[in-house]
């Protein structure tokens, strides 16, 4: 009888571990640098002056942190941004164009990701403010994290911005 209980508990633990692993757990939410989405930055008419940012070591107790990425339309025609979304529910992104703020936008499945129609004129620059909540994953969210923000446009050449941090309690 004791062996049945031990085997049952081991089975339940194994199922929970598999669900945690395949459900996302605390894995980085980024794709590899050779992914088609990452490579699309090279051919996009939108150019990020900085595509990665490292917050360094941050504390959950310190609250949210933010960073502003600058995006420029390097083409000779206007570009329409159609969607902005993030790779994790702990992150939001807001498009800032002149004095107008559009967003914040989050992760598909955790928040609605509406279509937008924000035009960026040739040679013009906009900002994307990224806010990361280091406490969003609770105590399991400590350690190295990597997240992404994807900016889609009508040209089907998304721009991917990435950030990392080392989260401490």
Q: Residue 158, Cβ neighbours under 10 Å: how many?
A: 21
In a domain, 16, yes or no: no
Predicted local distance difference test score (pLDDT) of residue 120: 92
Q: How many CA atoms lie within 13 A of 137 on its CB side?
A: 22
Considering only 32-41, 45-54, 71-80, 158-167, which range has the smallest mean pLDDT? Answer: 32-41
Domain that holds residue 153: 29-168
Q: How many CA atoms lie within 13 A of 44 on its CB side?
A: 29
Predicted local distance difference test score (pLDDT) of residue 155: 72
Rounded to an integer, what distance in angstroms lies between the CA atom of residue 23 and that of residue 100? 36
In a domain, 12, yes or no: no
Average pLDDT over residues 139-147: 91
pTM listed for this prediction: 0.71
Predicted local distance difference test score (pLDDT) of residue 52: 95
* Residue listed under structure tokens 């992104």: 93
18's enclosing H/E stretch is helix 2-23
Contact 113, 85 (CB under 8 A): yes
In a domain, 10, yes or no: no
Burial class, 100, CB count within 10 angstroms (exposed 0-12 / middle 13-18 / buried 19+):
exposed
Predicted local distance difference test score (pLDDT) of residue 43: 61
Answer positive or negative: Cα dihedral of 109, 111, 115, 118: negative
In a domain, 14, yes or no: no
In a domain, 59, yes or no: yes
In a domain, 45, yes or no: yes
Rounded to an integer, what distance in angstroms lies between the CA atom of residue 35 and that of residue 27? 17
Q: Which residue has the higher pLDDT, 130 or 45?
A: 130
Residue 45, domain CATH: 2.60.40.10
In a domain, 107, yes or no: yes
Predicted local distance difference test score (pLDDT) of residue 37: 37
pLDDT at 9 over 60: no
Chain mean position to CA 38: 13
pLDDT band of residue 58 (cuts 50, 70, 90) is very high
In a domain, 49, yes or no: yes
Average pLDDT over residues 5-34: 46
Total tally of structural domains belonging to the chain: 1
Average pLDDT over residues 148-159: 88
Predicted local distance difference test score (pLDDT) of residue 18: 41
């Amino acid at each position: 009888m004791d062996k049945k209980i031990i085997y049952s508990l081991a089975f339940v633990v194994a199922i929970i571990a598999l669900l945690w692993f395949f459900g996302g757990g605390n894995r980085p939410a980024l794709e590899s640098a050779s992914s088609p989405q990452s490579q699309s930055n090279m051919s996009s008419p939108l150019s990020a002056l900085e595509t990665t940012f490292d917050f360094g070591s941050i504390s959950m107790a310190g609250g949210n942190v933010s960073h502003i990425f600058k995006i420029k339309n390097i083409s000779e025609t206007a570009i329409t941004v159609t969607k902005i979304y993030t790779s994790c529910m702990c992150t939001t992104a807001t498009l800032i164009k002149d004095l107008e703020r559009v967003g914040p936008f989050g992760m598909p499945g955790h928040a609605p990701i509406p279509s937008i129609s924000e035009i960026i004129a040739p040679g013009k620059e906009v900002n994307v403010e990224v806010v990361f909540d280091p406490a969003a994953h609770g105590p399991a969210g400590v350690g190295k994290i990597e997240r992404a923000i994807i900016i889609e446009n009508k040209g089907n050449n998304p721009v991917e911005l990435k950030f990392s941090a080392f989260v401490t309690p």
